Amino acid sequence: MTKTYDALVIGGGHNGLVCAFYLARAGKRVRVLERRHVVGGAAVTEEFHPGFRNSTASYTVSLLRPQVIADMKLHDHGYRVAERRISNFLPFADSYLKLGGGMERTAAEFARFSPADAAAYPAYDAALSRVAGVLRDLTLQSPPRAGGGLAALASAARQGWPLARLDLPAQRDLLEVFTRSAREFLDGWFEDDRVKSAFAFDAVVGNFAGVSTPGSAYVLLHHVFGEVNGKPGAWGHAIGGMGAITQAMARACEAAGVEISLENPVAQVLVDGGTARGVRLESGEEIAAPIVAANVGPALLYRQLVAPGDLDADFARRIRGYKTGSGTFRMNVALSELPDFSVLPGKALAEHHTAGIVIAPGLDYMDRAFDDAKALGWSREPIVEITIPSTVDDSLAPPGCHVASLFCQQFAPQLPDGRSWDDCREDVADLIVDTVTAHAPNFKRAVIARQIHSPLDLERKFGLIGGDIFHGHMSLDQLWAARPVLGHGDYRSPIKGLYMCGSGTHPGGGVTGAPGHNAARAILADRPLIRKLLRS
Ligand SMILES: Cc1cc2nc3c(=O)[nH]c(=O)nc-3n(C[C@H](O)[C@H](O)[C@H](O)COP(=O)(O)OP(=O)(O)OC[C@H]3O[C@@H](n4cnc5c(N)ncnc54)[C@H](O)[C@@H]3O)c2cc1C
């Protein structure tokens, strides 16, 4: 007899798994259909050279919501996070900055450049923490459905209440964060460019924009709402790489009764009279279910998996205009030894090797990288973050060796002059290695092997349209109730029974589990009577 399902989830990325878990826990028969040979989407670990494993794409953890960790009992399924000894290390031409290890220590570092900035830091940190706290509280709430009647009004009022209760300075900070560029925002707090650059890097991560682009301050904030092992704002390394998180999630799903099917790419969402009826796989097999939850991003879902005739013209036009392409180039390298930085010499493991090492010396450097990328495709002086997870996790590389993630920003999603990333990826990888080598002269020599992901590779391998690491720009017009399109910010698509549960919905990208959690709640709330009231 053919098996029947209450719900199908298209994609076994972490949000698809989270959504499937909550649905199964509520008694639904759920099947996850994943295109690749492995679950996890952008959160996977791979052996990229014999004996060397690393997180392939996403590489560091902070944003995963504690409630999701607890509900899925991820610790029982092997989830463990190692903290970095310090958070960041920024080498400059003839000096460096270390961040982390406590407020006093970071302030003392800033004081080497500017006593005024050191004095300003505690207030900055408190202000950002307060605003991040508001954002954190909103992550597991569904945005109101614009045009959704009384229920939506009540939901908007409920979610707006914590903002209204903030004191005036905090409301001003919030306004600045949502509307200003990272440069304007940081100029309001600090005077030294090196100190500002320590914070500005977060604003360009996955954001094809300059630090002077209005709205870039928000992306900075998006990266600080997380926590590691109960420490707000901290980032850490999942032991076994990011794939260990999604493998733990898959085990939680299976324990809850979810069926996971690998190498089962979905070709089309089947729609009949405006209602989803199931999916057709690329193999031609059709699987019926009254609920379909799409973990793939909005651009992939609506431009490729839903037939054009199943969308109304206005929605289809807006999805065509949905902005996707984060300008990110991602490499993994196998290393024979640790980088020996000119400004902080030493190849023996030291605290700065455990940090996020950021090569982005100054706000002008970052703006130049964006301007170059718009004109040329990438910057001659790229922005590179290096993390070396093997410094805190010895399961990733042979003894004495290391693996490093190179996370590089401002690489145009589409190259000018019709060039293909396939023709340039090796040259760009060389440029990135040279950029690190300019600060750590032994780096190039230490590279044993490398794995390269251009924006096009990210699209082909993970289904990230335009290589967008967040399933779409995190700009004001594509956030909260407007993510992906105003009127569908509540995880419900324009097609009855079709839901969205990936990073293209609130609260956006990152390994948070929040879209999956919130989408499951929306699905479970949609019993016929409730659906009718919500749409009234
Ligand atoms: C290079 C890079 C670095 C990043 N770094 C970090 C980081 O350090 N920390 C962090 O928190 N976030 C990071 N992010 C962002 C974060 O990884 C993503 O936002 C998040 O993993 C997306 O999860 P998701 O479940 O929403 O979607 P995805 O992980 O994209 O999952 C979607 C799934 O759908 C599958 N799929 C696609 N098409 C089909 C189809 N037709 N049929 C069936 N299945 C299909 C895909 O294979 C995939 O498994 C990074 C992302 C990238 C790409």
pLDDT digits (tens, 9 = 90+) for 408-427: 999 999 999 899 999 999 99
The overall pTM is greater than 0.85 = yes
**Ligand 1 centre and the CA of 279: distance in Å?**
21
Nearest ligand 1 atom to the CA of 39 is 49
Give all domains of the chain, ordered by start, each with its CATH number: 7-81+240-323+468-535 (3.50.50.60), 99-225 (no CATH), 325-464 (3.90.660)
Residue 164: exposure state from Cβ atoms within 10 A (0-12, 13-18, ≥19): exposed
CA separation for the pair 449, 330 (Å, rounded): 14
CA separation for the pair 406, 357 (Å, rounded): 9
Q: Tell me how crowded residue 31 is: count the other CB atoms within 10 A of its CB.
A: 21
Nearest ligand 1 atom to the CA of 60 is 8
**Ligand 1 centre and the CA of 467: distance in Å?**
10
Q: Quick one: pLDDT at residue 194?
A: 97
Q: Report whether 97 contacts 277 (CB < 8 A).
A: no
Among 19, 262, 295, 454, say which to mutate for ligand 1: greatest number of ligand atoms within 8 Å of CB: 295
Q: Quick one: pLDDT at residue 534?
A: 46
Interacting residues of 87 by C-beta distance below 8 A, sequence separation 6+: 99, 100, 234, 235, 355, 356
Among 302, 460, 469, say which to mutate for ligand 1: greatest number of ligand atoms within 8 Å of CB: 469
Q: Quick one: pLDDT at residue 151?
A: 84
**Ligand 1 centre and the CA of 209: distance in Å?**
21
**Ligand 1 centre and the CA of 145: distance in Å?**
25
DSSP single-letter state for residue 505: S
Instruction: State phi, psi for 501 to the nearest 5 degrees.
Output: -130, 20
Among 17, 35, 326, 329, say which to mutate for ligand 1: greatest number of ligand atoms within 8 Å of CB: 35
Q: Quick one: pLDDT at residue 1?
A: 54
Nearest ligand 1 atom to the CA of 502 is 26
Q: Report whether 526 contacts 28 (CB < 8 A).
A: no
Shortest-distance Cα residue to atom 16 of ligand 1: 510
Dump pLDDT digits (tens) for 22-41: 999 999 999 999 999 999 99
Q: Quick one: pLDDT at residue 397?
A: 98
Nearest ligand 1 atom to the CA of 267 is 41
Residue 129: exposure state from Cβ atoms within 10 A (0-12, 13-18, ≥19): middle
Q: Report whether 329 contacts 451 (CB < 8 A).
A: no
DSSP single-letter state for residue 141: S
Shortest-distance Cα residue to atom 6 of ligand 1: 58
Q: Tell me how crowded residue 480 is: count the other CB atoms within 10 A of its CB.
A: 18
Q: Quick one: pLDDT at residue 149?
A: 84
**Ligand 1 centre and the CA of 208: distance in Å?**
18
CA separation for the pair 495, 312 (Å, rounded): 10
Per-residue pLDDT of the chain (536 residues; tens, 9 = 90+): 578 999 999 999 999 999 999 999 999 999 999 999 999 999 999 999 999 999 999 999 999 999 999 999 999 999 999 999 999 999 999 999 999 999 999 999 999 999 999 999 999 999 999 999 988 999 999 999 888 788 888 888 888 888 888 999 999 999 999 999 999 999 999 999 999 999 999 999 999 999 999 999 988 888 888 888 888 888 999 999 999 999 999 999 999 999 999 999 999 999 999 999 999 999 999 999 999 999 999 999 999 999 999 999 999 999 999 999 999 999 999 999 999 999 999 999 999 999 999 999 999 999 999 999 999 999 999 999 999 999 999 999 999 999 999 999 999 999 998 999 999 999 999 999 999 999 999 999 999 999 999 999 999 999 999 999 999 999 999 999 999 999 999 999 999 999 999 999 999 999 999 999 999 999 999 976 555 544 44
Helix and strand numbers (H, E) in the chain are: 18, 21
Q: Quick one: pLDDT at residue 135?
A: 86
Q: Tell me how crowded residue 1 is: count the other CB atoms within 10 A of its CB.
A: 3
Helix (H, G, I), strand (E, B) or coil at 405: strand
Instruction: State phi, psi for 356 to the nearest 5 degrees.
Output: -75, 115
**Ligand 1 centre and the CA of 57: distance in Å?**
8
Nearest ligand 1 atom to the CA of 471 is 19
Q: Quick one: pLDDT at residue 528?
A: 60
CA separation for the pair 416, 424 (Å, rounded): 12
Interacting residues of 264 by C-beta distance below 8 A, sequence separation 6+: 33, 34, 35, 281, 283
**Ligand 1 centre and the CA of 150: distance in Å?**
35
Among 383, 453, 511, say which to mutate for ligand 1: greatest number of ligand atoms within 8 Å of CB: 511
CA separation for the pair 107, 171 (Å, rounded): 25
Among 384, 464, 503, say which to mutate for ligand 1: greatest number of ligand atoms within 8 Å of CB: 503
Nearest ligand 1 atom to the CA of 15 is 25
CA separation for the pair 133, 127 (Å, rounded): 10
CA separation for the pair 76, 249 (Å, rounded): 10
**Ligand 1 centre and the CA of 527: distance in Å?**
29
**Ligand 1 centre and the CA of 301: distance in Å?**
14
Interacting residues of 255 by C-beta distance below 8 A, sequence separation 6+: 77
Nearest ligand 1 atom to the CA of 40 is 49
Interacting residues of 246 by C-beta distance below 8 A, sequence separation 6+: 12, 13, 14, 17, 39, 40, 41, 43, 44
**Ligand 1 centre and the CA of 380: distance in Å?**
28
Q: Which residues does a 6 A CB cutoff place in the pocket of ligand 1? A: 10-16, 33-36, 41-43, 57-60, 63, 265-266, 295-296, 300, 328, 330, 407, 458, 462-464, 469-471, 502-503, 509-511, 515
88: nearest Cα among 329, 356, 282, 348 = 356
Asked, as a colleague might, if the bond just before 528 is cis with ω within 30 of 0, I would say: no
**Ligand 1 centre and the CA of 12: distance in Å?**
9
Q: Tell me how crowded residue 282 is: count the other CB atoms within 10 A of its CB.
A: 12
Tokens of 350: 């030291």
Q: Report whether 47 contacts 17 (CB < 8 A).
A: no
Q: Beta strands 96-99 and 378-387: pairing type?
A: unpaired
CA atoms within 13 A on the CB side of 153: 3
Shortest-distance Cα residue to atom 44 of ligand 1: 11
Nearest ligand 1 atom to the CA of 515 is 26
